Amino acid sequence: MVRKATGQKDTVIVVLRELTTEDGRRRRARFAAEGEEIVKRAFDYGGRVDTLILAERFAADRKSGELIERARQAGAEVVTATEGLLSKVLEAKP
């Protein structure tokens, strides 16, 4: 199942914001990988993916199907978010 992030207070967005800082990455012992190719490589090389967050526009594209399926097979949560919401959190714009 794919769920939609509800806003800036959504748990996934709060964690993503924390992962933009070194302290947040250290505290959570996690990091965020941005970009389709990097995420594919994480799956290819056996990286543990907890959550796959997709911009709504990309999630609507047929190309996203492979990533969504791989995330599901890995037991990862799949979440969509608006480009506006992601741009408030991430340095790179979706």
Query: What is the pLDDT confidence band of residue 93, given thresholds at 50, 70 and 90?
Result: low
Distance set, CA 77 to CA 22, 26, 91 (Å): 23, 21, 22
The span from the CA of 94 to the CA of 91, in Å, is 9
The reported pTM is 0.89
What the chain holds in terms of domains, given with CATH numbers, is 2-89 (3.30.1330.30)
Check whether 87 has a pLDDT greater than 90: yes
pLDDT in tens, 18-33: 999 999 999 999 999 9
Q: Strand 77-81 relative to strand 51-55: parallel, antiparallel, unpaired?
A: parallel
